[in-house]
Structures are given as C-alpha cells and as structure tokens.
Amino acid sequence: MKYLLVFCCCIHISVAFAQKKKNVFFNKELSFVNDNDAYLLQYKDAYYTNGLFFRYAAASGTEDKKKIRALELGQMIYTPLERNTLAEVDIDRPYSGYLYLKYLQTTFRPKEDAILQWSAAAGMIGESSLGEEVQNGYHQLFRYSRFKGWRYQVRNDIALDGSVLYARTLPLRSDWFKMVPAAQGNIGTTFLNARLGTYLCVGAFERNDRSALFASRIGKNTASLQRKAELFFYTYPHLVLQGYNATIQGGLLHKGTGAVLGDIRTLMFEQNTGVCYAQGRWTLRLEYVYQTREARLQQTDQQYGSIQFAYRFQSRPAL
C-alpha cells in the first residue's frame, strides 16, 4: 500500500507539470490489464489463473454523441485446482486457453448519462491459444511449480463471439455517490451468457462519457472536466446466466478427442470491487474479483486480483 501511494503521488506531480493548459484533451489511449490470483498473495493458482489484455482506443464524434472505437488483444488461461494432475479425475475444471482479437465500439449519450457498447471478436481456444506456453513461461520466471495436465486441455476450435452492453446512471442528484445499472449479453461459439447488475460508486468521479469507470477519458468533451482528477471506490455485484462456455464444455464447432471436458453451472454470482485513480494522461485501477463456481465439478469459488493501467496521448487544443 505504501508503494501504491508513492506511485499515485508521482503520477499526480508529473501530470501537474505536463498539463499546464486546461483546454487540452487527449484523443487516444493505450491500456493494459492483468488478472491473476497471485495478486491476492494466497499462493494458489487455479481456475481463471491469468488474463492479459492490451487495448488501443480512439475517440470521435460530438459532445452530444461521442464514440470510442477500440481494438483489444487478449488471452485468458484456465486450469483445475490440482497442479499434479495424475488422472482425469483430478480435473475439476478443464484446462483451456482462449486467445482473441476484439473490436469494440462504444456510444455515449451525456444527457441520459448512458452508454451503449457492442463488440465482435475472433480467436482460438485450445492449444493454438498458447495458454500452456504462456503459463509455463511466467511460472518459470517466478519459480512456481507447473501444472502437469495440459495434455487434457480443450481441443483447438475457432472462437467467434459478439456482445452488447447497455448502462445508464440513475438520477440520484449526488456528487459523491452514483448507481449505474448495467445489462450485457454475449453470444458466440465461446461464450453464451447474460449479465445483470449495478455499479455502485463512491468518491470523486465524472459522468460516464468521460470517466475512467468506462475507459472514456478521451475525446473532445474531456477538455472541460469537472474535477482535476478522479478517485473513487466502486463495486459491481451482478448475476451471470450461462448458456455455453467453450473453455469448460469444449468447442461448439469441434470438440475433438482426448480432452477432459465439464458441465457448466447455469447461474453464477460475481462481484468486482476496486479503486480507480485517473488524471491527465494516466489511469491506475486495482480490482478484487469474487466469482462463484462456474463449472459443475469445481471444488471452490474463484478469487483473483486485477491491475489496470492506461496512458492517453495525441493531445489537441479545445476550440
């Protein structure tokens, strides 16, 4: 925690010197997210064991209807609880990797404080996703023991997916607290599910169309922010209704042979809780995620941490 405070202070000071003009906005953003249960210092590596996400985003449109278009390269790695996999019975959640490239487009409507986002993704599950290679690489780097059952992983299949998200702030008339109900649907060969929940935010935040909560601190309308910085705590409890999960059940188009697959739980609960700091060019976000069991034979619930960085660039003067 001491090092985190020092880091935030350094960002605050550097931005203060770099941003002498208030009528400047940034039009593009690069971000990096890493999910891993090792961040919780539990020395337990299982289930959703690692996620890497790189995103490039650019803003366009008017202040009344801003759009952000983004490209995201991501990888997600899944393993069972037992590292020393000696037999199929040791696998309570299938081995799997998921590698994809995704296009996202988000439209913001400031008057309603609402957002509408859709995305389309193409990728691979199975050996071609490089899940085993990436996990073995960072396990060797940090001297963790290896998982020994990757020969049972989900077999190669094409992953084609799409999603739609809608969120809108409730009119509470508060400058320090807001509630943002959100509904999301995912459909494709990898994931078929629906999510429904509400973001609860406390602290110093901006509207949704220019807030780090929805990665929207780029674009012309950010030249006149209400606050010098955002610093807020948030939690997002939501229900997940699962219809299909290829990282558990195998490819929808091709399951192959030799893989140990599983069945999903239809209803899950998930809660994301974190703190977000954003000013000028930088965003830092730390998050804790709790998730109930998603596979029917999964022995325990899932917990992991997430670290998120973003850097904004291509500054332009506001007219």
The pLDDT tens digits of the residues spanning 223-276 come to: 778 899 999 999 999 999 999 999 999 999 999 999 999 999 999 999 999 999
Q: Distance between CA 112 and CA 166 in Å, rounded?
A: 12
Q: Is the pLDDT of residue 43 over 80?
A: no
The tokens for 246 are: 């290829």
Q: Distance between CA 11 and CA 4 in Å, rounded?
A: 11
| Continuous segment of H or E residues that includes residue 135 | helix 131-141
More confident residue, 42 or 202: 202
Q: Is the pLDDT of residue 111 over 60?
A: yes
Q: Is the pLDDT of residue 107 over 60?
A: yes
Q: Distance between CA 211 and CA 230 in Å, rounded?
A: 8
Residue type, position 308, single letter: Q
* Average pLDDT of every residue of the chain: 92
Q: Distance between CA 55 and CA 71 in Å, rounded?
A: 6
Q: Strand, helix or coil at 94?
A: coil
> Running DSSP on this structure, what letter comes out for residue 147?
P
CB-count exposure of residue 106 (10 Å: 0-12, 13-18, 19+): buried
For residue 142, the model assigns a pLDDT of 84
What pTM value is reported for the model?
Answer: 0.90
Cβ–Cβ < 8 Å for 182, 166: yes
The tokens for 79 are: 């393993």
The tokens for 9 are: 């202070």
Enumerate the domain spans of the chain: 34-317
* Maximal C-alpha separation, the chain: 66
Q: What are phi and psi of 188, to 5 degrees?
A: 165, -170
As a whole number, mean pLDDT of residues 127-136 equals: 97
Q: What is the CA angle 203-208-212, rounded to 5? A: 65
Cβ–Cβ < 8 Å for 168, 113: yes
Sorted by sequence, the CB contacts under 8 Å of residue 66 that are 6+ apart come out as: 59, 60, 107, 108, 110, 209, 216, 219, 220, 221
Sorted by sequence, the CB contacts under 8 Å of residue 54 that are 6+ apart come out as: 30, 31, 32, 72, 73, 74
* Percent of the chain scoring above 70 in pLDDT: 92
For domain 34-317, give the fold. Answer: Lipocalin (2.40.128)
C-alpha distances in Å from residue 133, one per residue of 128, 140, 198, 236: 10, 11, 37, 33
Strand partners, 183: 166, 196
As a whole number, mean pLDDT of residues 172-179 equals: 94
CB atoms within 10 A of CB 4: 12
The tokens for 226 are: 């209400």
**Residue owning tokens 């660039």:** 313
* Percent of the chain scoring above 90 in pLDDT: 81
